[in-house]
Chains A and B, each alone.
Chain A
Amino acid sequence: MSSSPVLVLGATSPIARAIAREYASSGHSIFVAARNGDEASRIAADLRTRFQVETASASFDARNFAGHQALVDGAVERMGGFDVAVIAIGELGVQAEAQQDFEKALSIIEVNYTGAVSLCERIARHMEERKSGCIVGISSPAGDRGRKRNYFYGSAKGGFSLYLQGLRGRLAPSNVHVLTVKPGYIDTAMTRGMQTRIPIASPESVAQAIVKAQRQRKDTLYFPWFWRPVMFLVKAIPERMFKRLNI
């Protein structure tokens, strides 16, 4: 059992909620933050009731960059520093609407990229000072290649993946680790009702894999595993062909 604190940002997503439970089940104290503060506090209560760990919660807006430092400072003060920070914020948005209305495109970009980067930067400085810790960034295989169906979301996630790569290099000398997670189809509102032959994984299974990968200090995790070769093949398709494909 360890009580080393874990920070979960964007805690209301099913994946983040499962990650928080996974850490809490092995005794970590948890600080949960989400846009909806009421929901964040309900999640904190759930972790406390189920696992008898210390918890706290706060609300924040991924697009309000100016508020991010105060959020991280407040959380650090409350829990006395973090060993793990999970950045699980994200917004899929609606591609067609974003093409019509740039405000919507901007929101997708700011939540998935700029906002995520802003939060990571502040956590990075905290962990750099402590010379220990791990940042877990939830990105997406959608960021591996730009596609017409979701290129705002995809490019923001792709940018975030690249950012995490760079951050990994920067923090390595400080003994701070960075894990990039690219979850495939997970059983969330995003995939519910989707007709596909690809198996849809439970939030609990991806959460277990993430915590395990974080403890093993892996760099990149595709989940389930087959998304790695799938995305390798998708990336290998020549652009000349790819642009005509309806995927």
Chain B
Amino acid sequence: MTCCPAHSRTGAATRRSQGRPNGQTRSMTPPTTRETLAGWGRYPQFEAETARPETREDVLRAFEAADKRPVLGRGMGRAYGDAAVSPNGLTLITNRLDRMLEFDPETGWLRCEAGVTISDLIATFLPRGFFPPVVPGTRFVSVGGALASDIHGKNHHVAGSFSDHVRQVEILTGDGRIRTADLEHESELFHATAGGMGLTGLILSMELKLIPVPSPAIKMESVRVPNLEAFFRTSEASRDFPYTVGWIDGMARGRSLGRGVFMRGDHAPARARSGRGLLARVPAALRDARWVSVPWALNPVSVRAFNAVYYRRVWHGVARSLASADSFFFPLDGILNWNRIYGPRGLLQYQFVVTTKDGHDRVRDILETISQSGLVSFLGVIKEFGERRHGGLSFPAPGVNVALDFPNVGDRLFRLLDSLDERVANAGGRVYLTKDARLSKARFREMYPEWREWKAVRDRFDSRGRFTSALGERLGLVDR
């Protein structure tokens, strides 16, 4: 029976009683609930217990109430695999911890809670002439998640990764203490937390530097690149652009291997205005793919056709245009819940960077392996990273970085990805943990030789293994 607020709890059976629901004033432990939890790729899925703290105090109460069970912070759930799920513990969803605490327009430094999103930052500060220093391919990530993943963007070759623009972080560590870490104090904890996949503790707040921009628009150029050689040539010639990225047709073969569209841009000069883009004018409900599931439509023929159309969208030569920040940085955000298109089995994204001198050949070899596998791969992303790297579990390293999406077709795909792991590892490379759902522990250790030192730091702050994730357990990053 359904009736009035504040009582009709038909779901009482699925709801744990520890921490009673509470409306407004009394401070109590946030209620926990069991739900199916997965990453953006919707593979793998877990039945996990979650709570959603409303305040910083709630986080501490939930941590204490969890007693000795493991906990983990989860932002917007945009990591693709199993990074933001604690299947045997309590996953704390941080999206309500979204207070912006202080901003200095002279310097661009912002102090804010971890649940503030990139989208939030842009909505608040772009009209005031500021932009996040590094943005990923979606607006819908929290800054806590961005730091835990040490995300990179189209400007990695000039700006480095997210943690290069964070000077201080406040973390609840496994020993139950709140620590403030920066480059001087608790610097080991600071470095281990940048890219630490949330396993050094729960990020509560941080200080992050926004960059001044002259206008809200992006002056961009699209260049059609007929193959991988052309991509590398264009990339080399585009180094002076602060934002560069290539879209790559993962199914092109032979002489067309690696063909795609190269995009480069910069913040447009003052007073430049752009349109909102076609998609933004469509009501959100119609742009939502939640009710769409067309895995049968994703077959080699249809995807090849789609990729070909996308490739031919750009005419020969260079197309110049003025784009909104949204359409330049976050084209896929136009379709909400686009991950649902892949159906209930979900998708896997394979993102890697190769670092050896013959990186170009290594990437060609990997792309050939993929295109010959007969497996479907949608348009992917290719970008040459800059020189900066951070050690620990931080992903970006100097070299060529590629990301490709695959529908989850089971064993065939997993075998392909296993064989790619070997090639990537042999090329001095690694896969991006934030996108990963299946890497083996042994391969991980090959790819991230710094793991041992990272873990020693982590263990110092969390000797009892309070912070764990499915990913952490899979890769042997936490002891329980």
B7 and A149 form a contact (CB under 8 A)? yes
Closest Cβ of chain B: how far from A22's Cβ, in Å?
14
State which of A35, A88, A91, A144 has its C-beta within 8 Å of the C-beta of B22. Answer: A91
Task: A46-B101, A49-B110, A230-B3 given; name 5 further pairs at CB < 8 Å.
Answer: A38-B57, A140-B4, A191-B5, A246-B1, A247-B8
- B residues 40-58 near A (Cβ < 8 Å) are 52, 54-57
A111 and B25 form a contact (CB under 8 A)? yes
A13 lies within 8 A of chain B by Cβ: yes
- A residues 167-225 near B (Cβ < 8 Å) are 183-186, 188-198
> Cβ of A189: which chain B residues have Cβ within 8 Å of it?
21-23, 30-31, 52, 54
A142 and B4 form a contact (CB under 8 A)? yes
A5 lies within 8 A of chain B by Cβ: no
> Cβ of B112: which chain A residues have Cβ within 8 Å of it?
49
B36 lies within 8 A of chain A by Cβ: no
A106 lies within 8 A of chain B by Cβ: no
A50 with B23, Cβ < 8 A, contacts A142-B5, A149-B7, A190-B5 known: no
A165 lies within 8 A of chain B by Cβ: no
> Cβ of B54: which chain A residues have Cβ within 8 Å of it?
12, 14, 188-189
A153 and B6 form a contact (CB under 8 A)? yes
A92 and B8 form a contact (CB under 8 A)? no
B103 lies within 8 A of chain A by Cβ: yes
Query: Binary interface profile of A, 212-247, with partner B (CB < 8 Å = 1, else 0)?
Result: 000000000000000000110010000000000111
State which of A36, A45, A142, A197 has its C-beta within 8 Å of the C-beta of B99. Answer: A45
- Name the CB-closest residue of A to B26: A91
A245 with B4, Cβ < 8 A, contacts A35-B25, A91-B22, A193-B15 known: no
State which of A45, A111, A192, A247 has its C-beta within 8 Å of the C-beta of B1. Answer: A247
> Cβ of B52: which chain A residues have Cβ within 8 Å of it?
189, 192
State which of B2, B21, B25, B102 has its C-beta within 8 Å of the C-beta of A198. Answer: B2
CA separation between A201 and B6, bound complex, in Å? 14
> Cβ of B422: which chain A residues have Cβ within 8 Å of it?
none
CA separation between A192 and B10, bound complex, in Å? 12
Closest Cβ of chain A: how far from B128's Cβ, in Å?
8
- Name the CB-closest residue of A to B10: A195
Closest Cβ of chain B: how far from A143's Cβ, in Å?
9
B21 and A90 form a contact (CB under 8 A)? no
Which B positions have Cβ atoms within 8 angstroms of A? 1-11, 14-15, 20-27, 30-35, 52, 54-57, 96, 98-103, 110, 112, 124
State which of B6, B57, B96, B124 has its C-beta within 8 Å of the C-beta of A190. Answer: B6
A90 with B25, Cβ < 8 A, contacts A14-B54, A196-B8, A196-B10 known: yes
- A residues 33-61 near B (Cβ < 8 Å) are 34-36, 38-39, 42-43, 45-46, 49-50
CA separation between A85 and B54, bound complex, in Å? 23
B102 and A36 form a contact (CB under 8 A)? no
> Cβ of B4: which chain A residues have Cβ within 8 Å of it?
140-142, 144-145, 147, 154, 184, 231, 234, 247
A132 lies within 8 A of chain B by Cβ: no
- Name the CB-closest residue of A to B124: A50
A14 and B96 form a contact (CB under 8 A)? yes
- Name the CB-closest residue of A to B53: A189
> Cβ of B10: which chain A residues have Cβ within 8 Å of it?
194-196
Closest Cβ of chain A: how far from B243's Cβ, in Å?
26
State which of B30, B31, B101 has its C-beta within 8 Å of the C-beta of A42. Answer: B101
> Cβ of A81: which chain B residues have Cβ within 8 Å of it?
none
Closest Cβ of chain A: how far from B210's Cβ, in Å?
12
State which of A38, A91, A142, A191 has its C-beta within 8 Å of the C-beta of B24. Answer: A91
CA separation between A93 and B20, bound complex, in Å? 9
B24 and A192 form a contact (CB under 8 A)? no
- Name the CB-closest residue of A to B103: A49
> Cβ of B11: which chain A residues have Cβ within 8 Å of it?
193-196
CA separation between A90 and B22, bound complex, in Å? 9
CA separation between A189 and B92, bound complex, in Å? 13
A43 with B99, Cβ < 8 A, contacts A10-B24, A12-B54, A193-B15 known: yes
Most buried by B among A42, A141, A147, A153: A42
> Cβ of A195: which chain B residues have Cβ within 8 Å of it?
10-11, 14
Closest Cβ of chain B: how far from A20's Cβ, in Å?
11
CA separation between A142 and B7, bound complex, in Å? 8
State which of B3, B21, B30, B32 has its C-beta within 8 Å of the C-beta of A234. Answer: B3
Q: List 28 A-B contacts (CB under 8 A).
A: A12-B24, A12-B25, A12-B54, A12-B55, A36-B55, A39-B57, A43-B99, A46-B99, A90-B23, A90-B25, A92-B6, A92-B22, A94-B20, A95-B7, A107-B26, A140-B5, A142-B4, A142-B6, A147-B3, A147-B7, A183-B5, A185-B5, A188-B54, A192-B31, A193-B15, A194-B15, A195-B11, A234-B4
